Amino acid sequence: MTVDGNLCIGCELCSEICPDVFEMGDDGQAHAVHPEKCDDLPCCNGAAESCPVEAIKIE
Ligand code: SF4
């Protein structure tokens, strides 16, 4: 689970959908602060599917 900083436009959608995994940084972009939680949290996939610029990659 990674956020591509070259693509993220800082819309905050992923941090709203899955706050246990994604947080907005001071740089105005989302960061996957707890990617390991994606094993148990279906909201990770929801966030990835909802990202308008497809910046969230599930590995
Ligand atoms: S949903 Fe996508 S564009 Fe929006 S903050 Fe998250 S990673 Fe960035």
Q: Which residues line ligand 1 (CB under 6 A)?
A: 3, 8-14, 30, 51-53, 55-56
Domain boundaries defined on the chain: 2-57
Going by their DSSP bridges, the two strands 2-3 and 56-57 should be labelled as: antiparallel
43, 32 in Cβ contact below 8 A? Answer: no
Index of the ligand 1 atom closest to the CA of residue 54 = 2
pTM of the complete model: 0.94
The CATH classification number of 2-57 equals 3.30.70.20
Task: Please report the pLDDT score of residue 59 as a whole number.
Answer: 77
Question: pLDDT, tens digit, for every residue of 8-38?
Answer: 999 999 999 999 999 999 999 999 999 999 9
d(CA 41, CA 20): 9
